[in-house]
């Protein structure tokens, strides 16, 4: 396999650890903090997790290691969508494991949680690990989205662990994956299997965070990657001066990615789903908001611009959410077969008219036909509309085009509007991790082993004080149940980790809101450029604008 010069150089990069983890395994002690409670529904969560609920937060510090000496066989699972830095979590875990005892073993279960159910694994050694240090992707063992949530699955996982003598499992994933980790930890504890479970916070969407977890890994690299591309497009737009670029970025349940990219690049428009929901904005109001910017810039002779659209924006629009719910109900059960049997779109449209309320039909009617048809494409496993498949960047550019046509007819607009469309998603999920993510992820993995060594289970590996240099980072752990609440899922009440949405009273959004009116009219674009790996620390080790503003 031919290696690029950057890949060769990155293999040699030594990630920075928090100060208290640099002392050597023998000089890391643990300080116990306060007992914890879940963010909501405390009685219900406590009843569901009697063996792992209410445990203390812990912090590692310099001091004598008092953990019992024993051999460790640990399994690691990469779960869910990829995020830059995942390889370094595995590398940090491996290095800590081997630094403690060269006979310790790390099993990598292949292709996500399905690997432990099928007993499909690889045993890591130096040669394998060294091929993946500081590189992007999850290809070291692959990932998957199988959920560990049934007793039958837990029994299989326990038997696989018994057969290999595995004493701990580390699950690297997002909110759903770490919810599964908490449930698995509870099962293992209740059945006295002797197997610990530790989670690591991953997602480029940035919605796995709270007062303890300041940032999920991968968010830094992904947003820097997207921002470089957006900055390039802004420069092109300012050069050609004839296109409006509508750019959709990942983030179905929260708009953290869109907000961070806006803070980095200062586009003319950035929609924030949480604000749309709070203000109960309609599709028409959003289209008018964007059209106002187009018109204001056209009056200055600037028939170009950039708009950032979060992937899940339509789910935040109240009237659209009602429409989706009605469509799901309209096509429930055998009704979907009757709809799909209709030969033409005209027949299907008539079927839709009969099935929707008058209010939802008004919303449906203003959608471009292509978007209308997307709402009736392949359903998810639960029979619901796959909202993430909707090309919202094309939806809003079409709605804006209609608004501008109305304004032109009324004599209030005389510019030119030529939209182009982009979707940045997969481009950022497996990028070479930034120095921040390389350091952070390695620390999370190293720290995960310290939690294992000290006997903790149902904990999330936690590294905080991230706005400071790595030397000042603080390592420790928090019970996963602290992040949980009860939510309705597929008709049942389920314990899940609460997603963190953009806080409209938080510093990042406030800064954005204070400047967006200027950005909407002026060409205030900024060009972040590519991720820098070598050079001054103030260039190479910078974190996100979001984290900097939150910790300001």
Residue 440 has pLDDT above 90, yes or no: yes
490: confidence class by pLDDT, cuts 50, 70, 90? low
From 296-310, 329-343, 429-443, the region with the lowest mean pLDDT: 329-343
| Bridge partner residues of 487 (DSSP) | 494
What average pLDDT score do residues 257-266 get?
Answer: 98
Share of the chain above pLDDT 90, in %: 88
d(CA 214, CA 332): 40
Residue 1 has pLDDT above 80, yes or no: no
State residue 130's pLDDT score.
Answer: 96
Q: In the block, which residue shows the tokens 């706005």?
A: 467
What average pLDDT score do residues 29-51 get?
Answer: 97
State residue 150's pLDDT score.
Answer: 93
- Please provide the average confidence, as pLDDT, over all residues in the chain: 95
Query: Parallel, antiparallel, or unpaired for β 269-270 and 73-78?
Result: unpaired
* pLDDT tens sequence across 188-219: 999 999 999 999 999 999 999 998 999 999 99
Q: For residue 170, give the nearest of 124, 227, 233 by alpha carbon.
A: 124
d(CA 85, CA 200): 11
- Domain 20-218+433-484 matches domain 222-311+391-429+506-550 at the CATH topology level: yes
Q: Are the C-beta atoms of 294 and 417 separated by less than 8 Å?
A: yes
State residue 382's pLDDT score.
Answer: 58
Q: What is the CATH number of domain 20-218+433-484?
A: 3.40.50.450
DSSP for 194-209, written as a single string: --EEEEEEB-TT--S-
State residue 332's pLDDT score.
Answer: 81
Domain 222-311+391-429+506-550: CATH superfamily, name plus number: Phosphofructokinase domain (3.40.50.460)
| Bridge partner residues of 105 (DSSP) | 73
Max intra-chain CA distance, the chain: 81
| Bridge partner residues of 76 (DSSP) | 108, 170
Residue 27 has pLDDT above 80, yes or no: yes
Collapse the DSSP code of 500 into the 3-class scheme (helix H, G, I; strand E, B; otherwise coil) and give the result.
coil
Return the axis-axis angle of helices 86-100 and 435-453, rounded to nearest 10°: 40
The pTM of this model reads 0.95
Residue 63 has pLDDT above 90, yes or no: yes
Query: Parallel, antiparallel, or unpaired for β 121-123 and 105-109?
Result: antiparallel
What average pLDDT score do residues 283-310 get?
Answer: 98
What average pLDDT score do residues 472-485 get?
Answer: 97
Q: For residue 462, give the nearest of 86, 24, 84, 57 by alpha carbon.
A: 57
Between residues 383 and 24, the one the model is more confident about: 24
Share of the chain above pLDDT 70, in %: 98
Name the DSSP class of 409: H
**What are the domain boundaries of the chain?**
20-218+433-484, 222-311+391-429+506-550, 318-379
State residue 304's pLDDT score.
Answer: 98
* pLDDT tens sequence across 377-390: 766 665 667 777 78
Query: Parallel, antiparallel, or unpaired for β 196-201 and 459-464?
Result: parallel
Given 205, 207, 220, 439, which residue is catalytic? 205
State residue 379's pLDDT score.
Answer: 66
Q: For residue 449, give the nearest of 57, 167, 119, 52 by alpha carbon.
A: 167
Residue 119 is a catalytic residue: no
Q: In what order do the strands lie in the sheet with 305-310?
A: 269-270, 305-310, 244-249, 419-424
From 183-192, 294-303, 387-396, the region with the lowest mean pLDDT: 387-396
Residue 3 has pLDDT above 90, yes or no: no
- List, in sequence order, the alpha helices (H) in 345-457: 345-355, 358-366, 369-374, 392-409, 426-429, 435-453
State residue 362's pLDDT score.
Answer: 94
What average pLDDT score do residues 24-49 get?
Answer: 96
Q: Are the C-beta atoms of 181 and 154 separated by less than 8 Å?
A: no
489: confidence class by pLDDT, cuts 50, 70, 90? confident
State residue 387's pLDDT score.
Answer: 73
* pLDDT tens sequence across 497-544: 999 999 999 999 999 999 999 999 999 999 999 999 999 999 999 999
């Amino acid at each position: 396999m031919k290696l690029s010069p950057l890949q060769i150089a990155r293999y040699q990069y030594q990630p920075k650890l928090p100060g208290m983890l640099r002392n050597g395994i023998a000089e890391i002690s643990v300080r116990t903090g306060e007992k914890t409670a879940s963010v909501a529904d405390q009685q219900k969560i406590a009843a569901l997790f009697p063996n792992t609920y209410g445990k203390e937060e812990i912090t590692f510090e310099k001091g004598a290691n008092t953990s019992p000496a024993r051999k460790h066989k640990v399994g690691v699972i990469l779960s869910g969508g990829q995020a830059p830095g995942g390889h370094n979590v595995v590398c940090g875990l491996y290095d800590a494991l081997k630094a403690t005892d060269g006979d310790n073993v790390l099993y990598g279960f292949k292709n996500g949680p399905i690997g432990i159910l099928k007993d499909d694994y690889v045993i890591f050694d130096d040669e394998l690990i060294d091929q993946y240090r500081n590189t992007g992707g999850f290809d070291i063992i692959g990932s998957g989205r199988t959920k560990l949530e049934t007793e039958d699955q837990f029994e299989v996982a326990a038997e696989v662990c018994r057969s290999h003598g595995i004493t701990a499992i580390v699950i690297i994933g997002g909110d759903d994956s770490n919810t599964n980790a908490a449930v698995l930890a509870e099962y293992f504890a209740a059945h006295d299997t002797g197997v610990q479970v530790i989670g690591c916070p991953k997602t480029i969407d940035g919605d796995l965070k709270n007062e303890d977890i300041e940032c999920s890994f991968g968010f830094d690299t992904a947003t820097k990657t997207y921002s470089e591309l957006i900055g390039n497009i802004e420069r092109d737009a300012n050069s050609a001066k004839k296109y409006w670029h509508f750019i959709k970025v990942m983030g179905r349940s929260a708009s953290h990615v869109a907000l961070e990219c806006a803070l980095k690049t200062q586009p003319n428009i950035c929609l924030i789903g949480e604000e749309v929901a709070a203000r109960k904005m309609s599709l028409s109001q959003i289209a008018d908001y964007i059209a106002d910017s187009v018109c204001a810039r056209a009056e200055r002779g600037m028939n170009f611009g950039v708009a950032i659209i979060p992937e899940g924006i339509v789910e935040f629009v109240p009237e659209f959410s009602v429409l989706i719910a009605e469509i799901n109900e309209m096509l429930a059960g055998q009704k979907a077969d009757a709809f799909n049997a209709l030969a033409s779109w005209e027949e299907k449209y008539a079927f839709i008219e009969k099935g929707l309320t008058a209010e939802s039909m008004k919303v449906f009617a203003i959608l471009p036909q292509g978007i209308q048809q997307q709402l009736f494409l392949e359903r998810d496993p639960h029979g619901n509309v796959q909202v993430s498949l909707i090309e919202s960047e094309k939806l809003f550019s079409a709605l804006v085009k209609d608004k501008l046509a109305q304004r032109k007819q009324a004599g209030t607009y005389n510019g030119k509007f030529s939209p182009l469309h982009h979707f940045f998603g997969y481009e950022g999920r497996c990028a070479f991790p930034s120095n921040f993510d390389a350091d952070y992820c390695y620390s999370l993995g190293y720290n995960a082993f310290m939690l294992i060594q000290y006997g903790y289970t149902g904990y999330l590996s936690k590294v905080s004080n991230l706005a400071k240099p790595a030397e000042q980072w603080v390592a420790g752990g928090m019970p996963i149940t602290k992040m949980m609440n009860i939510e309705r899922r597929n008709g049942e009440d389920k314990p899940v980790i609460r997603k963190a949405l953009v806080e409209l009273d938080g510093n990042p959004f406030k800064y954005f809101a204070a400047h967006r009116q200027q950005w909407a009219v002026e060409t205030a674009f900024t060009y972040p450029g590519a991720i820098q790996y070598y050079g001054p620390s103030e260039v190479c080790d910078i974190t996100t604008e979001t984290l900097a503003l939150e910790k300001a």
